[in-house]
Chain A
């Protein structure tokens, strides 16, 4: 039943009623429904739970809900028992009967589903004790594992929209001052002070101002925004509404990457609900504020994460960036003053309004306040989403929270900032994560993608990967970017295929200089960060390729060979059977050999060998 909330008092009463009824903390099983867990069968687990709970007649005893991404993706599917906060990991459909029998009916835990810390062999029952979670400071992600993103009541019961009520009380100027004082810097990569941008936009002349949420999260390996949109869409809408109040905007847009259909779905549903409750639309909570939001999808272009290209796309055009100045705050969407902020930035706003700028400033470093969500992925044990205070070291994130490198391999580098960022080596692990420090070290905070690489990663290959990505994502306007990146990719190809010389490296640096200096937008100017940062910190690897015709990490095909160790091979013939080129010869039970002339280095033999007898040289 929808209740249109006609004033902040009505909101408070509605919340009280929900809390009195035990929402949402009454006995609940929260199944993580984030994309990562879904991909591992979480929704099947959820459905199985629903069926089993009904079959056992205990559906009144427990509230089952599917939540947004809970962050510990490596251990999915995840299940959180509320209100206690007990975490079950790697939950399969087969576990469901036991869970219902033991936990729901019997009130006991299924201990074999607890997380066991591999470094201590300690079993952890409660989520808050697990090192992965314990060392985080979850602000924006706090409610992700607790609320049903399709339920506005869950959001309200947990305190949602009380920030908006407070903001309406404070008035636009006070809200803007608070956000300015908090020192909130944009979480999309630019790191520009949000409050300052808001103020410029507010003061720009015009009869219609826009606020926009940039949800075109294009950095490969980054899924922070996705998880916030899928898991807690109301937090973003609340933030945008507060922003609209402060800026004097009446219309808002959320531009979502088309690869995120679930986010679009949850956001659209949340919009409808907010409208029904009087939290969006005309006379919000009975005030003077009227604010409407529209959801638009991107068409599939990384460059549309750049704000001026995004606005071009919103206007129905090719996503080609525009010259700045003029800046969107003064001349943006349809030529009107527009404030663009990232998903995470908007979701942080309600926290600042509710708890104040002083509280926010108590977290983080001098130049970077608050917390930041990172997607910790790649060669790391605890892959997932983490939210940490600014100033924490890379080491603490990768090893303390991330649990270090799998397979006992050596850490090599961590890439931050996506294709616009850089790779930092082991020597930089103690660097504090903060906007300015990362920039000084040749990397960048970026939107939060943090990709861990180990000794088996070739840094030259990584530079080539990013160049290929950017060459195809470039809008193609500027010669320096469009052609520069193509030529750079070719030259990196020369290096990885054994044709490179010292001159190749010199030429790479020369072209990179022009790409950076002469391109119009941030895609072009930052496109050379991966190659330049790897040249800065891993020059020895480039030199091994060009001087020694060697790929130390064993990745670049032209410079490696697959060979079978005759001492380990037991002649099972599996590799020979699977080899697509029929390049493996050998009699049964006798060591096999790979015909190097025929070998295409596809790696299938290494994959199937049960004795680890295939070596890469």
Chain B
């Protein structure tokens, strides 16, 4: 029950994009078509859950016992960068079909702040391994949801008559504001 609570909180209540303002670059940049948005989302999900688990081990077995937590920024970003490389190599070699779907998005992920953000959130909350993985998965699916919603909205708005000064990015942010208001309705559902 505790885990379900945590999952819902990460997925909806504290939605990583709409409530916590992370990963906005890819949220705005990758949602011009639904296919690209989904490819990016799944690549992020994959790496995020993996990074959540790996950094947990690193944090609890290496950084905390040796009193090195002030190095966590440096360690986590390097771990994520190498993890992305490894995943890319592995997918290209062993699962080409999956690589075709999300391969081109993988290099972009290193600087996706949601992934680094999740590892910091996990670290600050002092989650156990299971909690860290569940929370990372919730955050990742929240990212998928936000990107999918916006990609669909942008598809719809292509044929609409947007006022000239608002066309392009401004209207995207105003739609995001409305989405964000909708998501505020979830607050109170879970801690």
B and A form one assembly: no
Residues in chain A within 8 A of chain B (CB atoms): none
